[in-house]
Chain A
């Protein structure tokens, strides 16, 4: 009898139940914006970056794509979503990841993604055309594909107000960003990924970017796009 019970218990222990996977649902991504420690208010020349430039943001358009969820630095799930965000249209900063088939139920501790379009998909006219992102094409004459980022505004240029336009595109300048976070995913995937973009981070770490000495217009300027690409890796913080 004892032997039988022992065998039975041992059998139970051996029989591992596979981790549950998401059956349906979504992970909601919520993004808000700050500049330094202040909430971003568009069109106001009141924010200061690390080099002392006082600036505003008039346009903040960007793509996010290739979401990868990690646990203990191990990739657990890839989500092919491509999201277009226009900070002036609040709804676009809140979107859903629904490509969750096979995702394991559990808690994820970090997420990575591209600020831009994943390299394999970044070709001219590869995305469905829409009026919302009508201005995001990156001309074929300059490499094709899409603008990953349009960050534009004005700044106080020694007493006069000037414009700046930080644009990123082409696969050489993909921003690989990520956040440490806690995303809890249950069987019906009601997870949330909450992030904050700090505009000031585009202008520092590792490179301090100064409008006055670096330049006002990054598109097509390899050195400026490289700086922005590397600075962009940590513009997001998880919440």
Chain B
């Protein structure tokens, strides 16, 4: 009888204890949400300008409306950094998702535009792969995002749980969500795009500028390929003959090969007329200066890109003042007023 009483008491005690523990669990301010199945996502599409190749989209991060919005929230949220800055601090929509001047007094900020068609990133091409790869670098190394801080945000905690099915947010989910939004930053409504569709007639100056751009007269098109305006490759365009600064050495710093000295990524020309610093170190502050350089300022170095051999050999392009203005008039047709004002890219906060 006594033994039976002891067993019953033990059972009751265990029962009570289990309640106590379960109550403790419920009181946890960081609850583990039981349902691990991510919410159904609404498929989205990436706007593709006329004659562009298909965008690069990894199979494991197909665009969805919900994740694009999540990425947009993160893009404008200083929670990712430890200094109060967000992606948007250096990538301002009204300026074509870049900023004037130099980052760290060192280099112009490359614009976030049409990155869905990039497979290498940074001026020196040091990061290759998909947008997801570069965003992984941004959160892990550039921002050194404090994951504990992000995981303390109930908003993000719930959103990442809902859409990615994770209880703990990692760099991967942050990178993937950012990539979702940045992949949607597509410029497709410039005068140049409209002219391809027959919806805009160029002025005579713009037309003549196009002919300079797309012929050997200016020979811009071999690197700024049509219609993406970047060939995704690295070139030495004769900026320097002496590489006094480490940052002037370009892809050489990555590969260690002398043939890569001074090689930099071809920048995208979308909204180029909105910028005020050009080249990897921002040495030029106007399009006029850039054109003057390609006209007669190139250094004939050993690893000068072969396609630059024409202007280098024949004493430059020999454009006259009117032709330079016409070329700039054409470059201005790459300005996309829709892109820089679209509410869907704007700060959601």
Contact = CB atoms under 8 A, between A and B. Distances in A.
A116 B231 CA distance: 20
Interface in A99-156: 125, 128-131, 134-135, 137, 139-142, 152-154
Nearest to B313: A216
A160 B216 contact: no
B241 interface: no
A135 B259 CA distance: 21
Interface stretch (B68-76, B104-112, B157-165, B297-305): B297-305
Contact of B216 (A130, A140, A163, A220): A220
B214 A140 contact: yes
Given A129-B52, A134-B232, A58 B306 contact: yes
A59 B223 CA distance: 13
B198 interface: no
Contacts of B312: 162-163
B308 A163 contact: yes
Given A129-B52, A134-B225, A163 B307 contact: yes
B215 A220 contact: yes
A165 interface: yes
Contact of A164 (B119, B226, B302, B309): B309
Nearest to B305: A163
Contact of B214 (A59, A129, A142, A154): A142
Contact of A217 (B52, B259, B310): B310
A59 B232 contact: no
Interface in B204-245: 210-211, 214-216, 221-222, 225-226, 228, 231-233
B306 A43 contact: no
B53 interface: yes
B215 A154 contact: no
A161 B308 CA distance: 13
Interface in B147-194: none
A134 B53 contact: yes
Contact of A154 (B221, B231, B232, B306): B306
B308 A135 contact: no
Contacts of B123: none
Q: How large is the interface on B (under 10, 10 to 19, 20 to 34, 35 or more residues)?
A: 20 to 34
A184 interface: no
Contacts of B308: 163
A154 B300 CA distance: 12
A163 B237 CA distance: 12
A164 B305 CA distance: 9
A133 B211 CA distance: 22
Contacts of A162: 300, 304, 309, 312-313
A157 to B, nearest CB: 9
Given A128-B53, A134-B228, A135-B225, 18 more contacts: A43-B259, A129-B52, A129-B53, A131-B56, A131-B232, A134-B53, A135-B222, A137-B221, A141-B215, A142-B215, A154-B303, A162-B304, A162-B309, A162-B313, A163-B308, A164-B306, A165-B307, A216-B310
23 contacts: A43-B259, A128-B53, A129-B54, A130-B53, A131-B56, A131-B117, A134-B225, A134-B228, A135-B231, A137-B225, A139-B215, A139-B221, A141-B210, A141-B211, A141-B214, A142-B216, A154-B302, A154-B306, A162-B312, A163-B304, A165-B306, A216-B309, A220-B216
